[in-house]
Structure 1
Amino acid sequence: MDYLQACACLAGWRDSLIWGITGDRHGAGSRRRSKMPIKIDRRGLDQLIKNAKELDGKHQVKMVDMLSPQFVSAHSKFDDLASLFAASGFKIDGPDDFAAIPDDQWDAFIAANTDFENWAEMQKAGHLHYVKGRLNKGL
């Protein structure tokens, strides 16, 4: 079960999150019991479910959003993706320029200048960082 399926499962029973606790007020062996309801503030759970629903389906995410300045600066000496691109020595003025860079040369640059062994690993980690940020939005 993946994370979104788990959130959907939680959504199915979130309205029943008032639990009854049976307590024995009159000592061991007594037959009199009372139920004390406990109310749970589930605003955080509701927000998490809302965030998960917003992530459901296919989305196009800009590379600068997925590889945010926070992410790039945490995993390299660069402040943001534009700085990383500028330091690469490759002409990158658009998607076509980026696609024209030989994969092995780009992977070597990423391995030498980031915490990742190659571009695919950096993108995968950036995607995970992006999704975690979106899931935790407002919590």
Structure 2
Amino acid sequence: MVLEIGLEDAAAKRDDLPAADEVYDTDESIPLAEVFDDAFVAARTQFDTFDDLVAASPSDADSADALETVGYGEWDEFVAETTDFADGDEFVMAGRDHWVAKRLDLA
């Protein structure tokens, strides 16, 4: 499920949210495919999975694991054309909010 309301609004409706250290360890690495899970990608882009999105992107990568860099401006243009977002920053922030919402059981 993709969070359709703002993260702050959803959190404000709950009085039993766990502390940050209960849902996330600062030493934990977060795989891109976990932030941009299939539910998020399918609901907000033209693709079913993040791997599909990466493979179609202007990068040389064919999966999220192989994604390293995309030329300046190319990623923003690709995101604007194939997702619900205006640029890469907006896409990343929405993915972050979705990931946090999942960790807090808000999505």
Give the TM-score taking structure 1 as reference length: 0.56
Is structure 2 residue 23 aligned with structure 1 residue 55? yes
Superposed displacement of residue 76, structure 1:
0.9
Give the helix-richer structure, 1 or 2: 1
Superposed displacement of residue 103, structure 1:
2.4
Is structure 2 residue 89 aligned with structure 1 residue 131? no
Which of 67, 78, 86 is the aligned partner of 1:109? 78
Which of 76, 81, 88 is the aligned partner of 1:119? 88
Structure 1 consecutive aligned stretches of length 4 or more whose deviation exceeds 3 Å? none
Residues 11-30 of structure 1: pairs in structure 2 closer than 5 A: none
Q: Which has the larger radius of gyration?
A: 1
User: 1:81, 1:133 → 2: CA distance?
Assistant: 17
Percent pairwise identity: 31
1:72 matched to which residue of 2?
41
Superposed displacement of residue 87, structure 1:
1.5
Superposed displacement of residue 127, structure 1:
0.5
Q: What is the SS of the residue equivalent to 1:83?
A: helix
Superposed displacement of residue 56, structure 1:
5.1
Q: What is the SS of the residue equivalent to 2:101?
A: helix
Q: Which residue identity is paired with 2:79?
A: I
1:44-67 residue CA offsets vs partner (Å, 9 max, x unmatched): x3xx326x4423552421100001
Q: How many residues are matched?
A: 90
Q: What is the SS of the residue equivalent to 2:61?
A: coil
Contact 2:58 2:74 (C-alpha < 8 Å) held by counterparts: no
2:60 matched to which residue of 1?
91
User: 2:18, 2:54 → 1: CA distance?
Assistant: 36
Give the TM-score taking structure 2 as reference length: 0.71
**Which runs of 5 or more residues in structure 1 are unaligned?**
11-44
